[in-house]
Amino acid sequence: MSYKICVYAIAKNEMKFIDRWYNSVKEGDYVCVLDTGSTDGSYEKFKSLGIITKQKSYKKFRFDIARNDSMELIPDDTDICVCIDIDEMFEPGWSKILRENWSDDVSRARYRYTWNFNPDGSEGVVFMADKIHKNKMFSWKYPVHEVLKLNDGYPTNYKTIDLPNIQLNHRADNTKSRSNYLPLLELSVKENPYDDRNVHYLGREYMFHGEYDKAIRTLKKHLKLPTATWDAERCASLRYIANCYGYKGKLNKKIEYLHRAILEADYMREPYYELGVTYYQIKNYLMSAFYFNEMFKITTRALNYISSPDCWDGKTYDYLSMCYYYLGDYLRAIRTVTHAIEFSPNDARLKNNREIFLQELNRKTK
């Protein structure tokens, strides 16, 4: 059976991304876009490409309503719906993989998603996203950080398949403001005060905005919710609380909560890394080296949005080499800075550090 695929999206003033996006999604049978009030010619561009499109403006915008409105554009004979944003693009061949692996008993599919890229072009945060779904079976929920929720009348034990060979890349427009995220998250938590996911997101958003006391209270609320059972997210809440205490100058509380984060999810590198950096900043190089080395014992990267690329690139080797240098262990300093250079072969500072370490080792061994 050949399944019909519809890609759908919402958009506002995305002219500079449209061609790139459309070229990546036109493998689908249909492409639909709800334009939410563009003034840069995006709406006209969508129409010129033959995309099924409609324009609708909102007095009080929220993502779930807009996405649900965009789903009304999906043709009835669509089997598989694919929701992606205009600043995202699939790598070629995604539709073939999807059709070959879909079956009548499948309701959702997960795929590999690169949320951001590092300055050197390497991948940053990578996780399995899940915005591919059967037509008419789901609706969007929450004003922001919206998720798909099962419509009434459908069985809850539906089948989801993992398709890691489908790759979606996110190239964000960093010039766009995300100032509406905080009020939308506050609204979301007001509407659903016991939803652990958005309570966590709200606490994180308060931290981003420098409202550290609100962040601490909200993240502690997240940890007390009976549905907050995902250890990786609980670990992240503890880390964010720790960072807020650090910003407030309460170092002992920061260290306490980072240790609690390790106890919550000892398979995540992030709390070890942050303890290593914290001890480095206060010049306790022995403890810093200890936690960085503990971090290296974790060799499998969790494929979730919480996994930080800082724990998997050359930064840790850079920090660790300096720890060994200050501890007078120049041989280990040379070995670890060499690893750091492997990640950043053109970094002049790292190369200069290695020369300094070599000089100190030679001086010590004479």
User: What average pLDDT does range 9-24 have in this prediction?
Assistant: 96
Closest CA to 323 of 271, 275, 259: 275
- Cα separation of 132 and 80, whole Å? 7
In contact, 116 and 170? CB cutoff 8 Å: yes
In contact, 282 and 270? CB cutoff 8 Å: no
Hey, what are 277's tokens?
Answer: 């950096």
Supply the pTM of this predicted model: 0.87
Question: What is the reported pLDDT for 177?
Answer: 63
- Condensed to tens digits (0 to 9), the pLDDT of residues 78-118 reads 999 999 999 999 999 999 999 999 999 999 999 999 998 88
pLDDT at 141 over 80: yes
Question: What is the reported pLDDT for 1?
Answer: 64
Q: How many CB atoms lie within 10 A of CB 267?
A: 12
- Cα separation of 8 and 224, whole Å? 37
Question: What is the reported pLDDT for 123?
Answer: 86
Percent of the chain with pLDDT over 90: 89
Question: What is the reported pLDDT for 118?
Answer: 82
